[in-house]
């Protein structure tokens, strides 16, 4: 009875567990967004229009739009 070899239990790697959690959460969020019935294309278009209006208002004082990119010194943190 005790002579039988018992295979060692396989412990799942922590990164595999985190990947499973991430995939489950992503799927849940995708389903919620799809089932919500929110017109995402319309909301995105309204958001972009609003940003454009804010940018145009910003040019009224100085005549130019301030733009910031990832190479301006603060994208990766200071130091």
74 found inside a domain: no
Give mean pLDDT, residues 21-44. 87
Q: Which residues contact 69 (CB under 8 A, 6 or more apart)?
A: 75
68 found inside a domain: no
58 found inside a domain: yes
5 found inside a domain: no
Give mean pLDDT, residues 15-33. 92
Instruction: Say if CB 58 and CB 65 are below 8 A apart.
Output: yes
DSSP one-letter string for the chain: -TTSPPPPPPPPPHHHHHHHHHHHHHHHHHHHHHHH---HHHHHHHHHHHHHHHHHHHHHHHSS-----TTSS-TT---
29 found inside a domain: yes
* Percent of the chain whose pLDDT exceeds 70: 63
How many domains is the chain partitioned into structurally? 1
36 found inside a domain: yes
32 found inside a domain: yes
The boundaries of the domain holding residue 32 are 14-62
């Amino acid at each position: 009875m005790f002579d039988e070899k018992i295979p060692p239990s396989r412990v799942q790697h922590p990164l595999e567990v985190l990947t499973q959690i991430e995939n489950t959460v992503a799927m849940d969020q995708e389903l919620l967004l799809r089932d919500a019935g929110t017109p995402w294309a319309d909301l995105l278009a309204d958001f972009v229009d609003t940003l454009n209006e804010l940018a145009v208002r910003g040019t009224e004082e100085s005549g130019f739009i301030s733009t910031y990119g990832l190479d301006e010194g603060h994208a990766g943190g200071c130091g």
